[in-house]
Structure 1
Amino acid sequence: MLLAEDLLLLLVDDATGKPVTDGTKLDHAIAGALLLELALQGKVDVAETREENVRKGRLVVRDHAPAGEPVLDDALTFIAGKNGKKPDSVIGPLGKGLRARLLSGLADRGILRREEGRILGIFPTTRWPAEDSRHENALRERLHDVLVVGLTPDDRIGALVSLLSAIDVVPKVVESLDRRALKRRAKEIAEGAWAADAVRRAVEAVNAATVATIAATAAATSDSGG
């Protein structure tokens, strides 16, 4: 299961099949999850110092070999074409059409259920309620163990928590009587003490890029509406 798929399962309500957060946040976060997945696999890195044709803090592809997953391979090809770009310059393009692609894939595998309908009998809509929640339930238990019990996260859970924290949705995913403590613990994990240096750089860069892209999109929408 991809990190982006895990994130999507957590942020789509099992009963209603609708996102539990703003769609723009969701789209940018799952795009960020693709970047982190590639970083965890050692295929994409954030330059620590200036390299040939790549400035510090820019994306650099370390391994061009296919990951064996079409969504990841498409992302890797796109990023390779943008080698040396800032992370926030690729988040938006990576997110275009990504949510629908991942949702359809999860439905094809029997994890979600596609339900077509119409709003007011006119406007077509699609909902994605849960069909098989076993993976998601296990994932929520692991998140609870890390965020509430205090266990040390592995790389994948740490990366997932960092994205949830970046878009401020942790309390919507993990139940806790102390929301402040929950968010504080998530922020600690987002700082990346659990990760190797390369992954920590990627986590920091992707989180910052995700937040910046969301803010820029919100500002552009506000300006166009005004």
Structure 2
Amino acid sequence: MLIAEDLLLLVFDDVEGKPVPGVQNVEYSLAGALLIELAMLGRVDVTTEADEGTAGRLVVRDESPTGRDVLDDALAKLSTKEGRKAKDAIGPLSGKGLSDRLLAGLADRGILRREEGRILKLFPVTRWPAEDSRAEERTRAELDRVLVHGEDPGERTGALIALLTGMGVVKRVVESDDAQLVERRAKEIAEGNWAGEAMRKAVEEMTAAVMVAVFVPTIVTTATT
């Protein structure tokens, strides 16, 4: 499972097959999840003082295929963004086509079910209810272990928590009698050193870029409504 796929399963209602109420900026978050995953795989990085040029810029370290088409396509796009800040890559990687592609992939593997319908018998709509919830249940159990019971997260779980925190949906996807404690724990993890030393700087930079990309549209939307 990709981090982006885990994120989708968490923020989509299993019965309704659409994002749970209050979820915003899904596309930006999915793009960020791809970016972070590629960093964890050693494909992309941010430059340091040891590299030529300006530090803190996006660089592709390894162009070899990952074995997942959605990641390979993202990697190809990122190769045209080298030398830019990580946050500048979020927009080009996002878009409705990204979530649709990930959802369709989950349906092809029997995790979700594609249901076509119409709103008011006029407007076509696709729903993605759960077909096999085992993958999502494992992810929720891991989040519960970390956020409710206070255990340390692995790198992938840390990345997922950082993304959920940036979206502001932690308490919507993690059940607890103390939602404030869970949110505080999630924020600490999102801001902490959950990545391994070798990739910590890159993942921290990219997570920060995702937070900016997700947070700014939320401010704009709130201010104009």
TM-score, normalized by length of structure 1?
0.91
- 1:85-116 CA-partner distances (Å, limit 9, x unpaired): 11221111101210000001111111001111
Matching of residues 142-153 of structure 1 within 5 Å: 142-153=142-153
- 2:80 maps to a residue whose letter is G
Distance in 1 (CA, whole Å) between partners of 2:72 and 2:45 is 15
Distance in 1 (CA, whole Å) between partners of 2:58 and 2:154 is 23
- 1:100 maps to a residue whose letter is D
Query: Structure 1 residue 19 and structure 2 residue 23: aligned?
Result: no
Q: Name the Cα RMSD after superposition.
A: 2.0
Structure 1: any 5+ residue segments left out of the alignment?
none
**8 Å Cα contact 1:67-1:73 kept in structure 2:** yes
Distance in 1 (CA, whole Å) between partners of 2:22 and 2:47 is 31
Question: Which runs of 4 or more aligned residues in structure 1 lie more than 4 Å from their structure 2 counterparts after TM superposition?
Answer: 21-24, 218-223
- 1:130 maps to a residue whose letter is A
**8 Å Cα contact 1:45-1:198 kept in structure 2:** no
Shift of 1:222: 7.8
Tell me the residue number matched to 1:192: 192
**8 Å Cα contact 2:11-2:20 kept in structure 1:** yes
- 1:61 maps to a residue whose letter is V
Tell me the residue number matched to 1:3: 3
Q: Select between 151-160 and 14-23 the one with higher mean Cα deviation.
A: 14-23
SS at match of 1:39: helix
Tell me the residue number matched to 2:99: 99
Shift of 1:46: 1.8
- 1:147 maps to a residue whose letter is L
Matching of residues 1-226 of structure 1 within 5 Å: 1-20=1-20, 24-49=24-49, 51-53=51-53, 55-96=54-95, 97-218=97-218
- 2:91 maps to a residue whose letter is G
SS at match of 2:176: coil
- 1:104-131 CA-partner distances (Å, limit 9, x unpaired): 1111111001111111111111110000
Shift of 1:221: 6.2
Identity %, equivalent residues? 54
Distance in 2 (CA, whole Å) between partners of 1:204 and 1:176 is 27
Q: Select between 124-133 and 212-221 the one with higher mean Cα deviation.
A: 212-221
Distance in 1 (CA, whole Å) between partners of 2:167 and 2:218 is 13
